[in-house]
Amino acid sequence: MGATEILARLREESSSVVQVLDLYKETVRIYQDALTAMGRIPRIISESRNSAEVTVSLPPSRSFSTDEWGP
């Protein structure tokens, strides 16, 4: 039985264990936020970048014909 299964069983059996694990999770989150604020962990900022290639197929038409462009 691995650690994940053991912790899952402990969470089911004891509300005290649930509180301790939740407190640990919150402590880790606060610690990570503090490291990020101090510049120890780079802040990941997602950027949206727009780029697209568009190919348009138009049916032949007189308006696109170069035959009428004469001098």
In a domain, 8, yes or no: yes
d(CA 49, CA 46): 9
Among 11, 32, 12, 33, CA closest to 22: 11
In a domain, 3, yes or no: yes
pTM of the model: 0.48
Tell me the per-residue pLDDT of 47-70, one tens digit each, with 9 for 90 and over.
767 777 777 777 766 555 566 555
Number of domains making up the chain: 1
In a domain, 22, yes or no: yes
In a domain, 20, yes or no: yes
Q: What is the pLDDT of residue 27?
A: 95
Give the structural domain span for 28: 1-42
**Taking the CA atoms of the chain, what radius of gyration do you get in angstroms?**
31
Q: Is the pLDDT of residue 11 over 80?
A: yes
In a domain, 59, yes or no: no
In a domain, 4, yes or no: yes
Tell me the per-residue pLDDT of 12-56, one tens digit each, with 9 for 90 and over.
888 888 898 899 999 999 999 998 888 887 767 777 677 777 777
- Output the CA angle 50-56-60, nearest 5 degrees: 165
